Amino acid sequence: MGVYSVNLEVSANGCSKDSNSVNLINIYAIPVAKFLPSSNTIQQPQSEIDFTNLSSNAVTYIWNFGGLGNSTDVNPSYNFTQYGLYDVVLNAYNAFGCSDSFTLPIKVLPPQSYFIPNVFTPNNDGNNDNFYIEMQEGVTVLEFTVFDRWGEKVHDGLYPWDGTYKGKPAPEGVYIYVMKLQLAADTQPIRRTGSITLVR
């Protein structure tokens, strides 16, 4: 890029003539769009991603956040309140209207946190009477089995477990559970095994 002068020299039959035009041609660098997100994948409830603009030879910018919103900030931040896969596009322009674009996919995962307790008290006081896991939207219990310490199955299928075995209160003690969970962001279910203490 730069400013260039042009010199023309014509020669014929031993005669010559030249002409010089100063600063005749202006060449400007084309813009190059590029950016870097603070994360390519984010999981709700976190939703904000910061974008660092790495473009060159540009003076104005238009961002498109996968059809969810737009911005003309140089380095914007955006809250992705809906989960899904979004193509974020940056269009960079120089002072003469020339443009370039750059696209990166951003993956927003649904919430899928869960917590499996290690004790419950099925004494019908209305507090912690059932063995269940605390889970956010996006988690599904596919299988749920409980065994006593001798390996006998005391519960299978129904969720949660109310602490009974064959219609009667199961004795206090430590039990082993096996769960199969489906997380919305995963194609394959996951298996979780652990112990739960029954206290009355």
For the chain, give the DSSP string.
Answer: -EEEEEEEEEEETTEEEEEEEEEEEEE-PPPB--EEES-SEEETT--EEEEEE--BS-SEEEEEETTS-EE--SS-EEE--S-EEEEEEEEEE-TTS-EEEEEEEEEEEPP--EE--SEE--SSSSSS-SB--EE-TTEEEEEEEEE-TTS-EEEESSSSB-SEETTEEPPSEEEEEEEEEEETT-SS-EEEEEEEEE--
> Which residue type occupies 162?
D
Instruction: Give residue 1's pLDDT band: very low, low, confident or very high (50, 70, 90).
Output: low
Higher pLDDT, 149 or 19: 149
Q: What are phi and psi of 98, to 5 degrees?
A: -70, 145
Instruction: Give residue 14's pLDDT band: very low, low, confident or very high (50, 70, 90).
Output: low
Length reported for the chain:
200
pLDDT in tens, 74-129: 999 999 988 889 999 999 999 888 999 999 999 887 777 788 889 999 998 988 99
Question: What does the alpha-carbon distance between residue 3 and residue 5 come to, in Å, rounded to a whole number?
Answer: 7
Q: Show the tokens assigned to 76.
A: 């914007």
Please tell me the predicted confidence (pLDDT) of residue 19: 58
If we measure between CA atoms, which residue out of 61, 81, 97 comes closest to residue 52?
A: 61
- Of the CA atoms within 13 Å of residue 59, those in its CB half-sphere come to 7
**pTM to 2 decimal places:** 0.54
Please tell me the predicted confidence (pLDDT) of residue 115: 83
pLDDT in tens, 18-65: 556 555 556 678 999 999 999 998 878 788 999 999 999 999 999 999
